[in-house]
Amino acid sequence: MRPLVASICLLSTALLAPGYGRSASLELQAVQGELSSLHQWSNLLRTDGKKAPVDPRGRREYDDFIQYAMPHELEVHIVELLERASKNREDAQASLDEARTLTQAAKRNSTSIHEYHSRVNKTGWRDRWRVFAAGNGLPTELSSPEFAAAEKDYSEQLASGDFEKVVSDGMPRMDWALKAAIQQATSDLVARDPAQLKFIDRSKPCVPGTANGRQKASITRAVSPSDYYPPGSIRRAEEGDIVLRAQVQPDNCASGAAIVVSSGYPDLDAAAFQIFEAMSFAAGVDEKGAPISSSLIFKVKFSLAD
């Protein structure tokens, strides 16, 4: 057994030692409680260790906890400080202050480590790019200089065990760099010649929109993507944007649509087409105000945060 539990049990008797100030006793109890909660968390992580997922480095949360949040040497040092505080009233405050500072730092590190492990396997930045790229016929290796720089800093933060920096800086920068790369690729895909697109005829009856006299085709009735989010995609934590081009006829009926930018997930793309079929559109008009066949581009966003 690591020495923490045995030492905490011994300390509980010292709290009642004659002449030990009530204020110091309460402080000692508070630090002891924080240390005990860290030990309980350590036990929980160790018990669940074999079932816990590993991150891209092959490490589990318990591995990082005992190396960066509460290594054995730190645990022993904190217990020694508390024992010193309980036995030497003259040195109690300094020992308690140091023990509290170290314990609070361990709690912060533990929280950051937990947040990192809760997010990292759901993120998979390069995996997310590969899915997006494969769905859009793009190179599956991401060659963005901004992403490479963010990934380098993120890797260095991980290697140093600075999980507070990983969570507050590294992961958000990786999110931003991936988002920027996808946005740039999306802009390039949207700029392609529409003649290259494969339009699919609608499979459900059209509900024409109301003509509004606008020069360009427009959406007159939208629907919420959350109502069409595939349950399987939710279970797999799939998210993404789909850009479609709808072909609107003079009778205000959208006869078909093409996927301009795929999310990379077939189920989400299929759901986006269902959304298109549930929407209503108005045709554009020519210079004389007569309705004409035209098209418009719109985006469907599937996000688990919405």
Q: Give exposure, 111-126, as e/b (b: 16+ Cβ within 10 Å).
A: ebbbbbbeebeebebb
Taking the C-alpha atoms of residue 110 and residue 69, their distance in angstroms, rounded to an integer, is 5
pLDDT of residue 50: 76
* Phi and psi torsions of 97, nearest 5°: -60, -45
Domain spans of the chain, in order of start? 4-121, 126-190, 194-302
Q: What percent of the chain has pLDDT over 90?
A: 74
Nearest to 143 by CA among 192, 178, 187, 186: 178
**Please, which pLDDT band fits residue 10 given cuts at 50, 70 and 90?**
very low
**Please, which pLDDT band fits residue 230 given cuts at 50, 70 and 90?**
very high
Taking the C-alpha atoms of residue 284 and residue 213, their distance in angstroms, rounded to an integer, is 7
Taking the C-alpha atoms of residue 48 and residue 288, their distance in angstroms, rounded to an integer, is 72
Taking the C-alpha atoms of residue 251 and residue 227, their distance in angstroms, rounded to an integer, is 27
Dmax over CA atoms of the chain, in Å, equals 99
Q: Which residue has the tokens 């606008």?
A: 214
pLDDT tens digits, 84-136: 888 776 777 888 899 999 999 999 999 999 999 998 877 689 999 999 999 99
Tokens of 170: 């590294």
Triad 163, 165, 166: Cα angle to 5°: 60
pLDDT of residue 35: 92
Q: Average pLDDT in the 63-69 region?
A: 96
Cβ count near 58 (within 10 Å)? 7
Q: 138 CB contacts (<8 Å, ≥6 apart)? A: 132, 185
Q: Topology of 194-302 in CATH? A: TolA/TonB C-terminal domain (3.30.2420)
Tokens of 208: 């024409």
Per the CB < 8 A criterion, the answer to whether 198 and 258 are in contact is yes
pLDDT of residue 51: 84
Nearest to 110 by CA among 77, 75, 64: 64
* Segment (H or E) for 266: helix 266-278
Give me the half-sphere count of Cα atoms (radius 13 Å) on the Cβ side of residue 61. Answer: 25
The two beta strands, 240-248 and 284-285, are unpaired
Average pLDDT value over all residues in the chain: 89
pLDDT of residue 195: 86
SS3 category, 102: helix
pLDDT tens digits, 254-300: 999 999 999 999 999 999 999 999 999 999 999 999 999 999 999 99
Res 211 pLDDT > 70: yes
pLDDT of residue 3: 47
pLDDT tens digits, 31-61: 999 999 999 999 999 988 778 889 888 899 9
DSSP 260: E
* Segment (H or E) for 104: helix 92-123
pLDDT of residue 22: 65
Res 191 pLDDT > 50: yes
DSSP 147: H
